[in-house]
Structure 1
Amino acid sequence: MAEDRRPSPAPQDPPLPDARERRAAERLFGERLPLAERYVAHLASSGIVRGLIGPREVPRLWSRHVLNCAVVEECIPQDARVADVGSGAGLPGLCLALARPDLRITLIEPLERRVQWLDEVVADLGLSNVRVLRARAEQAKEEVGEVDVVTARAVSALVGLVDITLPLLRGTGELLALKGRSAADEVRRAQKKLDRLGARSTEIVTAGQELLEEPTTVVRVRL
């Protein structure tokens, strides 16, 4: 079989937020904004080279990724224990950790190269409220214990996602699944399974309405 000699994508300069994005970032990250900027620089450089972010996403790292994730902090109670399932490039887990230092966040990611990258970024940013765990979500409960909130973005459709996330929650916990236009259809398709798994309520909420041009759609499942 022929060797794949395609060159790795080149690192890029981090994008500058526009005026609205800058205001949103200042509101969300406060004195940690310089750390958020360093995180964006990691995404645009080593994140591209190591395949965690596509090169075409760089111009919209702030709007579509970092701010889109960070606004979900408004849905999370104070001092919560959070598990971010399928964390990938730290979306949304690292964004939430930067916006909310009170949270205790475990980034759960099964792929070694992503775990290595996350470890490096967490160390560089000095995030003492974050730990990285290499595991599949369904195998992580013994290590993580029960958490108050599970977050997930671009992991799987809701009907499959609830199987691997709801078991991580303590009795009154909640799943926050970042979704797009498919949210209502995904809820409909998953409703029978949600009932069977003991979900007390399921609703579609929007986060960041006052900050973002396009607020984030979140499916909130409460036990």
Structure 2
Amino acid sequence: MPTRAGTTSPPERLTADRVTKSLLGYGVIAGPVFVVASVTQGLLREGFDLSRHAWSQLALGGPGWIQVTNFVVVGLMVVAAAVGLRRALGSGPAATWSPRLLAAFGVSLLVAGAFRVDPAGGFPADLPQATGISGPATVHLLAGAVGFGSLAAAVLVLARRLAGEGFRRLALACRVVGPAFLVGFVAMASGLLGAAGVPVFAIAVVCVFVLLSAVFVHRYRVMPNTDGR
């Protein structure tokens, strides 16, 4: 991706800036990897209905290791991206808390991968359906609540920095999508939307990951050139 015109990393910063841009790259691809892997599994797994079953349920059953891996790999990507964001922001508004909150979201994905939800809604069909919430499922849901809240807060905190730098459209997107994503999660988790809760939250997940990719593409592009010329 092209970077900020007219600026080049000095020799003493070249390696550090290259590392920072590499870390920011994980923020660009983390969302697409998670969404594509989840939707692909949802289309291929027998008995899975994207309109009724949460993506977390893909971690159940024999092929469930694929979704567990998805959670873990994307979680590590988000943590790496948070480190890159901290390095890229340097100092000033959002430089401390936005990366920390984003890292908390990454850790929550790791926890969600380690603790699975219960079988429900007929999926997987070969496993006994839950009549209550198990301990692992409770941890998974709590990880989601903490992680999703942290993600929404991270983009809201970053919005102030973006607005101050003159990137008002991206700042506005952060201020709209972040809270809307959190509302979608609460509506699904509480059952407020009934059967519509799962697809509404899936759309919210896609939107917030698109936003996250856009934010990291932006931070990558405002970095100085590091081609060494």
Structure exhibiting the larger radius of gyration computed from Cα positions? 2
Q: Which has the higher strand share?
A: 1
TM, length-normalised to structure 2: 0.24
Structure-1-length-normalised TM-score = 0.25
